[in-house]
Chains A and B, each alone.
Chain A
Amino acid sequence: MSSSQIPQPARAQFLALTFDSEAILARFKHAANWQERYREIMLLGKTLPKLDDALRVEQAQVRGCESSAWLYHCNIEGKNYYLADSDARIVKGLIALLLAVTHGQSAQTIAALDIYAYFDELGLTGQLSPSRTNGLFALATAIKSEAK
């Protein structure tokens, strides 16, 4: 994903992104049904900045997603920061959920993270299944493997 041949987002762009993961968890816990959960997912997706076309390049694309998804990683003072985008709204929201627990974290914290348990807690069991039409599994793997 991160490679010197392709344009990289500025450090400031990575640092500008923040998440309140506790608030997110609370919102999902209060969702009464799947419709509300998906509304939350899509609202959350909107908080991720849209990547410039110059950054929506093949080299940054995560393989295995039915939709296109791009992921950038930056290590700043031992913490891992991410920027990601997708052309599908639900996938973008699900990426935001992944970033909410990984963005700004140490490699150890990310390695120790049980993403399956996290999605279960959100009431989104099944979303991480390694199926070709989902690709979130591929994204979670990419996020974890980028952490240094």
Chain B
Amino acid sequence: MDVNLLREQFPALAQTLEGYPLCYLDTAATSQKPKQVLDAIANYYQYDNANVHRAAHQLSTRATIRYEAVRDSVQAFIHAKRREEIIFTHGTTEGINMIAHGLSQQVKEGDMILIDTAAHHANIVPWQMLAQHTGAIIKPIPLDDQLRIDHKAYLQLLKAQPVIVALCHVSNVLGTVNPVKQMVAQAKAVGAITVIDGAQAIAHMEVDVQQIDCDFYLFSGHKMYGPTGVGILFGRYRQLDKLAPLLTGGEMITSVSFENTEFNVLPNRLEAGTPPISEVIGLGEAISFINALPKEETQTREAELLAYLHTSLRGLGDITLYGAHDDNLGAVAFNLADEHHQDVGILLDQQGVAVRCGHHCAMPLMQSLNIKGCCRASIGVYTNIDDIDRFIDALKSVKELLL
């Protein structure tokens, strides 16, 4: 596969910033979008723009067909058993909120909810809200000194029979991969409901929800070369069907009188109101884009790029890497000597290099690392060696200025 040809499909990558060509190493925050995704969105608005599932006219029929076809694509993409197990959301965050709210009737005082220490706030705060409403208790699963899940501690915590275990598949800050299949099996053995935030995994690896065997799996369109404002909540039918809807209103009902409302069946029951139609169609195109990539070659290339990133950063000196392992995916977290991550970020930006700097919406992880924040460089299918070399060169200039 020719990466430079692939890059031509991403118009945003061709720009320069203050004389420097853009070096985009912030794919973990949001990926750039290929032309076919952009075209699909424009095309929908130009020719098929109509609401779905409603009108009798042809535009609505076309829009509905395109929209519902994406549900089938997603089902095949993550190997879900039924298309009704695919719920369109506005993103991972909304999906986790839907689960946390939806389980409120099933959680009672004193119940334990286990959360990954490396979790993104989106996989922490909804559970905290649930705990506040129900009297449940939140326990973080500690990390070991390699910044991986402390497996012994996890098994110990499972003995207390948590009702929910919420994990990230891949840490958004560190890029570390959790052995979710094994962890889910262990959680299920004690009867816990398992929720996996797959936002950082979905663009980098094949996700098979049958194999992982989790109850819920979530991801966002915009981190997988698709548009913002759309995400997927996968749930096993039995579990999804028990969720109390977070949003009520149109589309999710079968009948409404002023006395009573009959809710619709899945998936409509959990998709209230007008859905993000153009975004779903864009997401469908993003899945086609990913499906057309040579899978193994892409994964090998991304692994090589990440390894090169690790080696180059180590070679620079005065760099602290956090949890940088060979089997990580997508991202590397680092700090330059004792310098503030924001200073580093501003000076990299000045050279056209886009990285994320901050607490990455993972404050508990920052606290456990005893840092205020860090910088994160992350890669995608369009990242090439030149990006990494230019990033390292830019970082050298930052070092010269700051140290």
B358 surroundings in chain A (CB, below 8 A): 66, 132-133
Q: Is A144 an interface residue (CB 8 A)?
A: no
Q: Is A27 an interface residue (CB 8 A)?
A: no
Which residues, 66 to 101 on A, are CB-close (under 8 Å) to B?
Answer: 66-68, 87-91
Q: Is B357 an interface residue (CB 8 A)?
A: yes
Known: A66-B357, A87-B372. A38 touches B347 (CB 8 A): yes
Chain A residue total in the interface (Cβ 8 A): 16
Q: Is B162 an interface residue (CB 8 A)?
A: no
A35 & B397 in contact (Cβ 8 Å cutoff): yes
Which residues, 40 to 72 on A, are CB-close (under 8 Å) to B?
Answer: 42, 66-68
Q: Is B402 an interface residue (CB 8 A)?
A: yes
A68 surroundings in chain B (CB, below 8 A): 372
B357 & A90 in contact (Cβ 8 Å cutoff): no
Q: Is B104 an interface residue (CB 8 A)?
A: no
B340 surroundings in chain A (CB, below 8 A): 67, 87-89, 91
Give bound CA distance, A39 to B350, whole Å.
13
A91 surroundings in chain B (CB, below 8 A): 340, 342-343
B343 & A133 in contact (Cβ 8 Å cutoff): no
Nearest CB of B to A37, in Å = 9
A42 surroundings in chain B (CB, below 8 A): 401-402
Q: Which residue of B lies closest to A65 (CB)?
A: B342
Q: Which residue of B lies closest to A88 (CB)?
A: B340
Nearest CB of A to B34, in Å = 26
B401 surroundings in chain A (CB, below 8 A): 35, 38-39, 42
Give bound CA distance, A103 to B287, whole Å.
56
A38 surroundings in chain B (CB, below 8 A): 347, 350, 401
A90 & B347 in contact (Cβ 8 Å cutoff): yes
Give bound CA distance, A38 to B18, whole Å.
15
Give bound CA distance, A139 to B300, whole Å.
46
Nearest CB of A to B337, in Å = 12
B342 & A90 in contact (Cβ 8 Å cutoff): yes
Which residues, 334 to 357 on B, are CB-close (under 8 Å) to A?
Answer: 339-343, 345-347, 350, 357
Q: Is B373 an interface residue (CB 8 A)?
A: yes
Which residues, 92 to 116 on A, are CB-close (under 8 Å) to B?
Answer: none
Give bound CA distance, A91 to B350, whole Å.
14
Nearest CB of B to A1, in Å = 21
Known: A67-B340, A133-B357, A133-B358. A90 touches B346 (CB 8 A): yes
A66 & B342 in contact (Cβ 8 Å cutoff): yes
Give bound CA distance, A133 to B341, whole Å.
10
B343 surroundings in chain A (CB, below 8 A): 88-91
Select one of A34, A67, A88, A89 contacting B350, CB under 8 A: A34
Give bound CA distance, A3 to B239, whole Å.
52
Query: 0/1 per residue, B1-39, Cβ < 8 Å to A?
Result: 000000000000000001000000000000000000000
Nearest CB of B to A14, in Å = 26
Give bound CA distance, A106 to B225, whole Å.
52
Give bound CA distance, A2 to B343, whole Å.
27
B341 surroundings in chain A (CB, below 8 A): 66
A residues with a Cβ closer than 8 A to B are: 34-35, 38-39, 42, 66-68, 87-91, 132-134
Closest 6 CB pairs of A and B: A88-B340, A88-B342, A67-B342, A66-B342, A90-B343, A89-B343
Q: A90-B346, A134-B346 are in contact. List 15 more A-B contacts (CB 8 A).
A: A38-B350, A38-B401, A42-B401, A66-B341, A67-B342, A68-B372, A87-B340, A88-B340, A88-B342, A90-B343, A90-B347, A91-B340, A91-B342, A132-B358, A133-B357
Q: Could you jot down 13 A-B contacts, CB within 8 Å? A: A39-B401, A42-B401, A66-B357, A66-B358, A66-B373, A87-B372, A88-B340, A89-B340, A89-B343, A89-B402, A90-B342, A90-B347, A134-B346
